[in-house]
Chains A and B, each alone.
Chain A
């Protein structure tokens, strides 16, 4: 009697209590192997390769915002020593030129940022400087966008808006061939 009852139970349902164990096993495997990599970074567009150096000497010096980074990661901005923390504000005033200073950019569209580093500059310092310069532009775009359209600048705003903003304040950053004083 007991035997037949056991047989009945077997035929009617599969014991699923070990399912959780199997699922746990797989779960733990994926937990261990997972590396949630952050695929984020500063996107740049490199200029096409040309043999000769672009000549920036014929540009009006008031339109050029030169940033030099030496092998000790020190900054020289337009002939003056500066800290990285001040760079963003300085670049913003230069590009926007709100008080029409005679030694700053004629208009945002004419402003050129010239970045030059040494082969001994650390990559971290270089990226920090690049980040600040890009942030200066992003803030200017944001301000312009707020003024014109009343919305903050973002990547998913209408293409026409973005183009209008980019035309008014184009991101022009020219990188010169680095000096090689401090290569390790």
Chain B
């Protein structure tokens, strides 16, 4: 009994928290690396559909984003509830696409112009009419690499 008490009295040092900052920094760096600060605020509701045959977009600098969806609540007063196109951070018409593509193009080295992909982030509920117009405009601007953004559907894979 006395032995036991003695031992217990001796081994009571505080847990060292010296390595805590290291652990936290490790987490911090992880999140800093995976963080993508979204450069444009979404003004349309976009909930992309599910699909299985997905390819990943590799280089972000070679991708331009076109959003199509219904305006969010706060913009419905001004823009109505019909599906709209958003380029960058503002609402746009289909005929503004060539300029938008050109603006993105100048930021990319000329040798890589062929690799530019347009990512269409389209809401699943939108009808094909506006999507078709956008597609036609992309074809006219000779921007033929297109990626229909979709979420991975786990339930479709057997």
Residues of A within 8 A of B (CB): 16-17, 19-20, 23-24, 26-27, 30-31, 33-49, 71, 117-124, 126-128, 130-131, 134-135, 138, 155, 178, 180, 182-184
What are the residues of chain B within 8 A of A184 when measuring CB–CB?
Answer: 82, 127, 129
Q: Are B56 and A123 in contact (CB under 8 A)?
A: no
State the 7 A-B residue pairs at the shortest beta-carbon distance, nearest first.
Answer: A124-B124, A119-B129, A30-B31, A23-B24, A41-B149, A49-B139, A39-B57
Closest to A24 in B: B24
Asked if residues A180 and B129 are in contact (CB atoms below 8 Å), the reply is yes
Interface centre among B20, B117, B142 (most CB of A within 10 A): B20
B binding-site residues for A, Cβ under 8 Å: 17, 20-21, 24-25, 27-28, 31-32, 34-38, 48-49, 51-57, 60, 63, 68, 82, 117, 119-120, 122-129, 131-132, 135-136, 138-140, 142, 144-152
Complex Cα distance A117/B131, Å?
12
Q: Which residues of A contact B131 (CB under 8 A)?
A: 123, 126
- Chain B interface mostly: mixed
Do B28 and A23 touch across chains, with their CB atoms under 8 A apart? Answer: yes
Q: Is the CB of B36 within 8 A of A120?
A: no
Whether A121 contacts B127 by the Cβ 8 Å rule is yes
> What are 7 of the A-B contact pairs (CB < 8 Å)?
A38-B151, A39-B57, A43-B147, A46-B139, A120-B127, A121-B127, A122-B128
Task: Kindly list 7 other residue pairs between chains A and B, CB separation below 8 angstroms, not including A40-B152, A134-B53, A183-B129.
Answer: A16-B21, A39-B63, A43-B117, A49-B139, A71-B127, A121-B128, A180-B129
Please give me the residue from chain A that is nearest to B149 by CB atom: A41
A-B CB pair tally, cutoff 8 Å: 154
CB contacts (< 8 Å) of B124 on chain A: these are 122-124, 127
- Contact residues in A for B148 (Cβ distance below 8 Å): 41-44, 127, 130
Most A C-beta atoms less than 10 A away, residue of B51, B138, B140, B151: B51
Give the distance in Å from the alpha carbon of A31 to the alpha carbon of B57 in the complex: 24
| Across-interface contacts of A37 in B (CB, < 8 A) | 36, 38
Q: A127 CA to B126 CA in the complex, in Å?
A: 11
Q: Is the CB of A19 within 8 A of B21?
A: yes
- Nearest Cβ on chain B to A135's Cβ, whole angstroms: 5
Residues of chain B contacted by A135 (CB below 8 angstroms): 52-53
Q: A137 to chain B: closest CB distance in Å?
A: 9
Complexed CA–CA distance, A48 and B126 (Å): 25
Contacts of A42 in B (CB 8 A): 51, 53-55, 147-148, 150
Distance in Å: Cβ of B34 to nearest Cβ of chain A: 6
| A23 cross-chain contacts in B, Cβ below 8 A | 21, 24-25, 28
- Kindly state the separation between the CA atoms of A127 and B20 in the bound complex, as whole angstroms: 48
Q: A33-B37, A36-B34, A49-B140 are in contact. Are A26 and B28 (CB under 8 A)?
A: yes
With A42-B54, A135-B53 known as contacts, the answer to whether A122 contacts B147 (CB < 8 A) is: no
Residue of chain A at shortest CB distance from B37: A33
CB-defined contacts of A122 to chain B, threshold 8 Å: 124-128
